[in-house]
Each structure stands twice: as structure tokens, then as C-alpha cells.
């Protein structure tokens, strides 16, 4: 999982209190798979959907990921160390079974350290100062990056609590779901100066694009006796995403509590840490479970001398983010605020709290968006790398509804930085397969890919299909295409059992074979045709004839076939092109039975053959003849192919016809002489019969 811990923006003024003016991309996260690691470069197998600032504490988190995950524990994480840690990430495509408690208590942002020792009663109120300091405790860590001139002082670090000021004022609590409480005032002998640290700010979550945040650290207190301590740490982050989450074996606890600050005796105490974040993304959450993001308590005063000292502020409660619209009855949530510290020798009155404040309660936020891992598992198939290291391909994939599906357009950016690395464009369709799909029915998927402009490279696209629910999930019809033209590619899914529905996904593999020149724009139209039967290969070799009628080369295939919406693919294989290009286009296609034309369609789909590398590669043109109603038997497929040459003619061409399930029903060379064919516009030497 990728996570960004920092990046909130603060004001530029030296007197700025540290309240964030923008959260930026802080808190962004998503699951991804690692495809390769080369030195310090990590190549992911998916295009990232969210934006990340790599200079703002972005970490890669090892995630527990499988189809079914069972948790036996207890489970915890390594603490956040300024670079990594503090997160438990779990993802399953089917279910997560929780048989234990999970804790990231105090594993988030660290608390600030106490000040250096200083004995005089000089009062100070600066928001920002360097650390170490004799006048201020260190600020608690928060979601903003701060320079050395802002390490200490009363101001916040976004959700990190401010430090207590001279003399013996308390540090503030950290914030997250709720804000942190301010630290207590200075030692009473020095006056009544309310200059404790300012409580850490609350973090804002947008349910449509939720971020997750570490709890802010509590600010350090000011000391002169060396008796204060570090501020409390914020809670870490727990993320669990699965369609079904079940808690078993009693009431398990998922906790991300902020920690308490220590007793300071008669120095200024430090603030408590804020609660962290628990994110639960699921369709079903059941079983007894408690989600706890309580804030930590501010530090108390013990034995005091000649009056109260500044206690620590309480940490704010954290955040519980749920994809569900309400809390299930078996689930308990705890978002309690952390209480401020007190002067224990004063049972009541203003001296008891001495102006220290509790944190604010945390939040429970519903209807938070998340990426369904059952769908995303098919989407992590695109190789990416830093954009400044390689070319960019921008793909636009549109779907056109025939019966069941209407999605798009969707845009993808593919970054490839090394030759022979693969990228993937994934087309997903919802709703899914029809629930009435019967055994052995065929679902035909037609994909059209085209490029928007001429490119000086040749990539290949290989198409795969994947279906969940009643159909095979396997390689269906791989087809390789050099990206210099438009083409149609089709696949077919055959139900092996009675269909129960499912989601269809088409994955287009882009493999780099030459240097890339950006940008390249792809468009795709997906056609879903239910209950198709296909033109079957003949029990004997299909008879194919090719002749020239003066204008067009006609490919005639005699084969057994069955009625139904039918798709034909004609592949053109170019050989030894040396310059310029040859344009092949289909003028019309028809199906005949007993010399009666049952259906025909005029087409003008073109393919361009322009291979300057003297190598073989395929071009594809595809035709659809819907609503064929005649009975099983033999018939004819007539494909009228026109050819326009442009330049020298030392080329050869062959055509192949495929049925919708990928079975080749005919392959015939249009040339009996690789160097003579097309030498003259009225050449008819390509007449042949297979």
C-alpha cells in the first residue's frame, strides 16, 4: 500500500500559529502491487489513481493481501519513525476473519521533547523558535513539514500540539478527528500568563476521497527542574478492506489510541497524543468488535512548590472511517477525547486545571469511498515508473452499450521507462454477465482500438478476458497488434456452467518493443452480445476461393455455420514492405446460404501496412453481421477487399478469417508471387482456390 503521511501547508509568517491552510495530498493512500525492484526504483503493476508528493513522507507499506485473510494475533505494527511505520494494511478479495485484537496505539506521530532547563521567570509567547530551546518545549510532530526555525514554540504543526513556554507552561495535545487541548499556564509564581502550547488542529476527511491521518503528537512542556517528559504519541492507522469482514471469538478490539503524557511533578507537563485512524471498507461487517480511537491524557503535576504549574493539554479523539451508511449493531465505537492534565494537589478551582484544556472528541464518518479489491485485483496490471524517466502513453477507453454494458469514457496514463516492460489497460464492465446465461452460451466481446496520430514506434497489444461467475476465467483470445493503425479485436467467453452473473474485464497488454514517442491516444468500443452462436470450423477443411472482379479481391469461404449474431475477423499479414504504405479496406461482407444472400453489410474499415523494418506483423479488420436467422448448415462468406497501394510494390499479403471464438476457418494468400502481386492495378494473377 502507498501512503503519504505529510504535506499539509502552513502560513509563512513567523507569528503563524501553525493552523493548516491546505491539507494538500496528505493522507492519500491506495493498494498496489510491486512488479519489479531495480536498485532504488520500485516499479508498480498498476497506474496510481491518486496524487502523491514524494517529498512529503510517502511510504510503501507491506500489506496483508489474499482472497481470504484470517487474523490470529495479537497484531501490531512497527512505530512511525519519521520515514515509515505506524500502519497495518489488510486487503482481501473475498473476506477478512478477525480472531484477535489489533493495536496501533501510540504508533503515529511522535510527541515533542521537553525544553532545556531554564530557571528564570521570563515569560515567552513566540509561536515559532528553533529547538533545542531554553524557552520552549518542542512541538509535537504533525502532518506539516517544518523547518528548523519552527521546531519549538507555542504554535502547532498542523495536527501536532505546540510546546509549552517559559516558565513551566504545559505542552498541548495533538489533533486528528478532534482538535487537541491547549497546554496549561506558566508557574503561578511568575504570574498568570496563559502561554501553554496551542492544541493540534483537527484533520478534515472527504468521504468521496477519504484520507487517513496519524494522530498528532503532544507538545513538550517547559521545565527548570528536569522533571518534565516527552509528549504523548499519536495513534497509528489501521486499514482493512474486503467485501466481507467478520469478527469472531468474542469482542475483538481494533485500537488506535493516543498515549498519555507522563507526570511532570513541578515542571510544565507535556500534551497527550491524538487518536489515530481506523478505515473499514466493506459491504458487510459482522460480529462483536470495538473500534477505539481515543485521545491520550495530558501530563499531570505531582508535588508542586508555591503554586500550580502548567499541566498538559489532552489529545483529540481520532477518526473512524466506514464505507457503511451506519454502525452495525454488533460494532462499538470509541472516539473519546483525551482529558487535560491537572495539578493533583488542588482538588478544585482554577488551580486544578490551571488553564489546560481537554481535547475534542473524535469522529465517525460514514459512506467513505474505497476501492473494491475484488475488482481492483484485475486492475493491477499496468507497469508504471517515474514520468520524468520515460515516455507517457495516454489511453482513452470508451465503451458502447449493445445490451448490458455502458461505461466510459475512461482515461489512463501508461508510463513505461524500460524496453520490454509491459503496461496494461483494463476495461471493466458493470453490470455483469446476464444472470440467465445458460451453459455453453457464448458471450462475445468486441474491442476496437485506434490511435489518434502517427507514431514512430510499434508497440503490441495483447488482449485477455476475465469473467467472474459462471464462466471461465482464463486466457481467451490473445491477439497481437502493432500500434500504427486502427483495428478491431474480439474475444469470446463460453459459459462452462449455468451462468450466475459476473463482471467482465478486458485487459489490453501494451508491450514496449521500440522507443516510445508520446503521446499515444487509444479509443476502444466494447460490444457485449449475449447468447451468440458462432461460425464453426467445418468438419473438413473449409473451402476458400479468392478471385478478382476488376475492382475488388473477393475472399469466399465455404463453411459449416449456425445462425446468431456473428462476428468475423480478417487478419492481414504484411511481408517485406520496404517503403510507404498499402491500404487494405473492406467494402462489404455478406453471408449466403444456397446462393441466397441472407445478410450483408457495407463496410469501409481500413488497415494500413507500413512496415519499414522488413518484419512480419498482423493487422486486423473486423466485421459484424447481426441477426442471421437461417438454420444450421453450410453457407458462404463473401468478403470484398479493396487494396490501394502507395509506392513501390515489393510486398505480399495474406488474409485469414476467424470465427468469433478465435477458431481459424480460412487462411489464403492473396498472392501466388510475393513480388508480382499488385504490380499492376488490373492484375488478376491472385486468383486461386484452396
Nearest to 31 by CA among 6, 8, 65, 81: 65
Mode of pairing for the β-strands spanning 58-60 and 2-4: antiparallel
pLDDT of residue 371: 77
Report the share of the chain in percent with pLDDT over 90.
43
Greater pLDDT, 116 or 624: 116
What is the distance between the alpha carbons of residues 383 and 42, in angstroms, rounded to a whole number? 10
The per-residue pLDDT for range 243-302, each reduced to its tens digit, is 899 999 888 999 999 999 999 989 999 999 999 999 999 989 999 999 999 999 999 998
pLDDT of residue 179: 98
pLDDT value at 108 more than 90: yes
Instruction: For residue 378, name the pLDDT band (cuts at 50, 70, 90).
Output: very low
pLDDT of residue 34: 75
- Tell me the fold of 381-532: Jelly Rolls (2.60.120)
In the chain, where the domains are located: 1-380, 381-532, 543-689
Greater pLDDT, 632 or 221: 221
pLDDT value at 434 more than 80: no
pLDDT value at 415 more than 90: no
Angle at 630 between CA 626 and CA 632, to 5 degrees: 110
| Total Cβ atoms within 10 A of residue 580 | 14
Fold match, 381-532 / 543-689: yes
Greater pLDDT, 573 or 202: 202
pLDDT value at 638 more than 60: yes
What is the distance between the alpha carbons of residues 191 and 354, in angstroms, rounded to a whole number? 12
Q: How far is CA 553 from the centre of its chain?
A: 49
**Architecture of the domain spanning 543-689:** Sandwich (2.60)
What is the distance between the alpha carbons of residues 583 and 678, in angstroms, rounded to a whole number? 12
The per-residue pLDDT for range 563-599, each reduced to its tens digit, is 444 445 454 444 333 344 455 555 666 666 655 666 6
Average the pLDDT over each of 207-211, 254-258, 595-599, 678-682 and give the range with the smallest value.
678-682
Give the chain's end-to-end CA distance (angstroms, integer): 57
Nearest to 1 by CA among 282, 321, 279, 413: 279
Amino acid at each position: 500500500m502507498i501512503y503519504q503521511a505529510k504535506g499539509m501547508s502552513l502560513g509563512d509568517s513567523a507569528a503563524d500559529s501553525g493552523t493548516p491552510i491546505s491539507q494538500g495530498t496528505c493522507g492519500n493512500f491506495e493498494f498496489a502491487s510491486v512488479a519489479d525492484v531495480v536498485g532504488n526504483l520500485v516499479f508498480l503493476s498498476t497506474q496510481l489513481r491518486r496524487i502523491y508528493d514524494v517529498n512529503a513522507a510517502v511510504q510503501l507499506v507491506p500489506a496483508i493481501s489474499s482472497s481470504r485473510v484470517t487474523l490470529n494475533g495479537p497484531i501490531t505494527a512497527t512505530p512511525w519513525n519519521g520515514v515509515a511505520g505506524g500502519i497495518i494494511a489488510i486487503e482481501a478479495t473475498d473476506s477478512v476473519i478477525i480472531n484477535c485484537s489489533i493495536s496501533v496505539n501510540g504508533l503515529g506521530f511522535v510527541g515533542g521533547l521537553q525544553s532545556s532547563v531554564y530557571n528564570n521567570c521570563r515569560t515567552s509567547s513566540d509561536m515559532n523558535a528553533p529547538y533545542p530551546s531554553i524557552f520552549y518545549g518542542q512541538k509535537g510532530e504533525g502532518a506539516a513539514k517544518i523547518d528548523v526555525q519552527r521546531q519549538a514554540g507555542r504554535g502547532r504543526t498542523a495536527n501536532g500540539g505546540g510546546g509549552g513556554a517559559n516558565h513551566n507552561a504545559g505542552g498541548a495535545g495533538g489533533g486528528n478527528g478532534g482538535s487537541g487541548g491547549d497546554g496549561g499556564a506558566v508557574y503561578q509564581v511568575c504570574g498568570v500568563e496563559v502561554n501553554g502550547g496551542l492544541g493540534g488542529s483537527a484533520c478534515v476527511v472527504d468521504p468521496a476521497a477519504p484520507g487517513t491521518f496519524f494522530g498528532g503528537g503532544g507538545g513538550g512542556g517547559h521545565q527548570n527542574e528536569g522533571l518534565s517528559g516527552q509528549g504523548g504519541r499519536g495513534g497509528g492507522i489501521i486499514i482493512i478492506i474486503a467485501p466481507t469482514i467478520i469478527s469472531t471469538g468474542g469482542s475483538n478490539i481494533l485500537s488506535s489510541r493516543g498515549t498519555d503524557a507522563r507526570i511532570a511533578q513541578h515542571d510544565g507537563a507535556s500534551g497527550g497524543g491524538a487518536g489515530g485512524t481506523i478505515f473499514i471498507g466493506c459491504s458487510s461487517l459482522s460480529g462483536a468488535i470495538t473500534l477505539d480511537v481515543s485521545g491520550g491524557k495530558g501530563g499531570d503535576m505531582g508535588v508542586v512548590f508555591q503554586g500550580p504549574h502548567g499541566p498538559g493539554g489532552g489529545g483529540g479523539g481520532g477518526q473512524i472511517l466506514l464505507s457503511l451508511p451506519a454502525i452495525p449493531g454488533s460494532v462499538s465505537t470509541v472516539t473519546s477525547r483525551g482529558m487535560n492534565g491537572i495539578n493533583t494537589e488542588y482538588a478544585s478551582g482554577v488551580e486544578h486545571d490551571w488553564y489546560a484544556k481537554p481535547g475534542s472528541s473524535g469522529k465517525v464518518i460514514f459512506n467513505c469511498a474505497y476501492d473494491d479489491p475484488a475488482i481492483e485485483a484485475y486492475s493491477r496490471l499496468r507497469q508504471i515508473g517515474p514520468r520524468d524517466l520515460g515516455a507517457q502513453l495516454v489511453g482513452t477507453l470508451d465503451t458502447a452499450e449493445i445490451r448490458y454494458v455502458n461505461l466510459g469514457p475512461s482515461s489512463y496514463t501508461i508510463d513505461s521507462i524500460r524496453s520490454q516492460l509491459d503496461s496494461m489497460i483494463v476495461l471493466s464492465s458493470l453490470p455483469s454477465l446476464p444472470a440467465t446465461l445458460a451453459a455453453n452460451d457464448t458471450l462475445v466481446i468486441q474491442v476496437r482500438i485506434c490511435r489518434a496520430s502517427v507514431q514512430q514506434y510499434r508497440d503490441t497489444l495483447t488482449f485477455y478476458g476475465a469473467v467472474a461467475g459462471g464462466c471461465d476465467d482464463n486466457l481467451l483470445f490473445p491477439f497481437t497488434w502493432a500500434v500504427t493503425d486502427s483495428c478491431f479485436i474480439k474475444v469470446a467467453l463460453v459459459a462452462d456452467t449455468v451462468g450466475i452473473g459476473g463482471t467482465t474485464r478486458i485487459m489490453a497488454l501494451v508491450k514496449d518493443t521500440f522507443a516510445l514517442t508520446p503521446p499515444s491516444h487509444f479509443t476502444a468500443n466494447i460490444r457485449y452480445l449475449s447468447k451468440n452462436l458462432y461460425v464453426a470450423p467445418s468438419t473438413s477443411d473449409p473451402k476458400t476461393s479468392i478471385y478478382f472482379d476488376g475492382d475488388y479481391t473477393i475472399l469466399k469461404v465455404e463453411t459449416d455455420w449456425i445462425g446468431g449474431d456473428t462476428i468475423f475477423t480478417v487478419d492481414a499479414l504484411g511481408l517485406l514492405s520496404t517503403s510507404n504504405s498499402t491500404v487494405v479496406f473492406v467494402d462489404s461482407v455478406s453471408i449466403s446460404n444456397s446462393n441466397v444472400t441472407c445478410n450483408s453489410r457495407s463496410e469501409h474499415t481500413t488497415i494500413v501496412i507500413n512496415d519499414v523494418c522488413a518484419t512480419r506483423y498482423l493487422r486486423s479488420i473486423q466485421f459484424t453481421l447481426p441477426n442471421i436467422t437461417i438454420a444450421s448448415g453450410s453457407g458462404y462468406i463473401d468478403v470484398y477487399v479493396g487494396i490501394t497501394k502507395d509506392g513501390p510494390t515489393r510486398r505480399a499479403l495474406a488474409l485469414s478469417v476467424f470465427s468469433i471464438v478465435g477458431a481459424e476457418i480460412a487462411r489464403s494468400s492473396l498472392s501466388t508471387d510475393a513480388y508480382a502481386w499488385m504490380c499492376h492495378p488490373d492484375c488478376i494473377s491472385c486468383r486461386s482456390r484452396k
